[in-house]
Structure 1
């Protein structure tokens, strides 16, 4: 391992750690604050518990990845992928991406996450394999919408395509960052 600031255990790493966990705490407090000013936000204890658990898993996973490497592109790629997964799950639980949150067709998005997770495991979290895994995840995201369109489940085509484009862009951004991390690991003069 390189010096402590490269692997995340030095001062720079502590600042990033504080920023990640501080942002998570702020996100958890925001709905509570919003509830003081509007009745449109009406969270119960279970909502806060679920959101807190999701934040804990996302931040904990990011912290583990950050401790594994000092490569900034790799860390950024993990952050983007985790953000995409977090937003996908939260939106799906809150309002649903295909119809309402109660539409069983939304369960197909679980398959998108399974593609990403299995791909990461198969790649053993190595950057080149992770890049391929995230491209596969983007393709799985598109496949869900294609299936929904064929079966006639996508009610608002414009919103569905816009959200799909948003998630595909996040998955491909993460893939590109993993590809960059893979090139940075390659010895000088070797083909990436």
Structure 2
């Protein structure tokens, strides 16, 4: 059984690992070309999502609601990421 500290560490380690892969990809691959602002936005999105999921995990008591809320938060993250990357919805923030 995992303790609360281990669960919290796991929640925040996933975005850190993803950002680490992004840094390595940017260093060693020509196809991966992120600017510092791209890293800043990705960090805000990933760690902000981790924070929201951690808050949901701590505040919401019903496990069904926890799961549903976390799925909604992850869905919003994915839609935001896709919009910033390729402009799925055509907003002014759309990528190329």
Shared fold per TM-score greater than 0.5: yes
Give runs of ≥4 in structure 1 deviating > 4 Å: none
SS at match of 1:66: helix
Give the number of aligned pairs.
91
TM-score, normalised to structure 1, is 0.43
Gaps of 5+ in 2: 92-96
Gaps of 5+ in 1: 1-9, 99-105, 108-192
Q: In structure 1, how many angstroms separate the alpha carbons of the residues matched to 2:13 and 2:23?
A: 16
Larger Rg: 1
TM-score, normalised to structure 2, is 0.81
Aligned pairs (5 A) from 1:52-63:
52-63=43-54
Q: In structure 2, how many angstroms separate the alpha carbons of the residues matched to 1:43 and 1:78?
A: 31
Q: Which residue in the other structure is 2:25 paired with?
A: 34
Q: In the TM superposition, what is the alpha-carbon distance from 1:29 to its structure 2 partner?
A: 1.3
Q: In the TM superposition, what is the alpha-carbon distance from 1:57 to its structure 2 partner?
A: 1.6
Q: In structure 2, how many angstroms separate the alpha carbons of the residues matched to 1:69 and 1:88?
A: 24
Q: In structure 2, how many angstroms separate the alpha carbons of the residues matched to 1:58 and 1:67?
A: 14
